[in-house]
Amino acid sequence: MLTAAAVTSPVSLQGQPADTALFAYFTGNGEDGLRLARSHDGLAWTPVAGGRSFLTPSVGSRLMRDPSIVQGPDGMFHLVWTTGWWDQGIGIAHSKDLVTWTPQEVLPVMAHEPTALNCWAPEIFFDEPSGRYLVVWATTIPGRFPLTEDSGNVHDGRQLNHRLYMTSTRDFRTWSPTRLFFDDGFNVIDGVIVSLDGRHALVVKDETQHPVPRKNLRVAFAAHAEGPYGAACEPFTPEWVEGPTALRFGDAWLIYYDEYARKRYGAVRTRDFTTFENISDRLQVPAGMRHGTAFNAPMSIAEGLHSRF
């Protein structure tokens, strides 16, 4: 089993309304670490504390890309991130207030696979029915899925053929063995779990390059957060997008994504994860913002960030 250091629980924040939206993101290549933006309507996002870094990467290859944050029922925030392009683990840290963090650690999720090339875009999700935290990420293991190997998917000379993997924990001390999480017969990264009424959605990026580039977002469904998930639907975004994250506002969900080839951000609105309205022209995000995770937080946390900086 995987192990990680113990985490001290803060005073319970249960009962306080999660009434403000925050967005964890990175800029550049992730060298400067965690940044946060705030929004009241899900459309206009402004940088917190002028866009300062709230946590500088210090483990793995010392990058902090794809930051994903979830707040547990005890009020503690848990952060996972990509520590480098070719690392076999992911970064993890914890905070009561998004300012003071526990020492950063590497969770060695693919250390048992000596030929694994990477661990990209981990996402953390709290599964309320089971009381467990799920962490999902993408890894290429050369030769593991030969039917979908694609010579066009090459990064830094390495051919990539990703699938999604996962591990889970209740206490951040003991972790379940890494297992294959989602394989729908295509090269896939950026898996985001969304809890809906009575089912779960998994938003993913289709990384197919040949014979026709896709590089867009699709969604699959399951009865339980841990799956199994059915076949992914047809794409619901333009091509050349990545890094999805979803947050509910009122009776609808906004799904954000990084239009990395066009150096801008996009979003769609949906009520059922079946029909989607593109609202990208109404979206405002901080300059240079790269993808991460939108999440709810108590107003006291957001106001604390504002008052301290």
Contact between 243 and 291 under an 8 Å Cβ cutoff? The reply is yes
Extended strands (E) in 224-302: 242-249, 252-259, 264-270, 277-278, 290-297
Per-domain boundaries in the chain: 19-308
The reported pLDDT for the residue numbered 17 is 46
The reported pLDDT for the residue numbered 150 is 82
Q: Which residues pair with 188 in a beta bridge?
A: 206
The reported pLDDT for the residue numbered 2 is 55
Residue-wise pLDDT tens digits, 207-259: 998 888 889 999 999 999 999 999 999 999 999 999 999 999 999 999 999 99
CATH superfamily, region 19-308:
Glycosyl hydrolase domain; family 43 (2.115.10.20)
Q: For the chain, how many helices (H) and strands (E)?
A: 1, 23
- Residues of the chain short of pLDDT 50, as ranges, are 1, 3-18
The reported pLDDT for the residue numbered 71 is 97
**Residue 231 in 3-state DSSP?**
coil
Determine the Cα–Cα distance for residues 227 and 4; give it in Å rounded to an integer: 25
Contact between 292 and 23 under an 8 Å Cβ cutoff? The reply is yes
Residue 195's closest CA among 224, 228, 236, 230? Answer: 224
The reported pLDDT for the residue numbered 212 is 84
Residue-wise pLDDT tens digits, 177-196: 999 999 999 999 999 999 99
Determine the Cα–Cα distance for residues 5 and 3; give it in Å rounded to an integer: 7
Residue-wise pLDDT tens digits, 85-95: 999 999 999 99
The first and second tokens of residue 107, run together, are 């969770």
**Residue 102 in 3-state DSSP?**
coil
* Residue at token pair 């996002």: 45
The reported pLDDT for the residue numbered 309 is 84
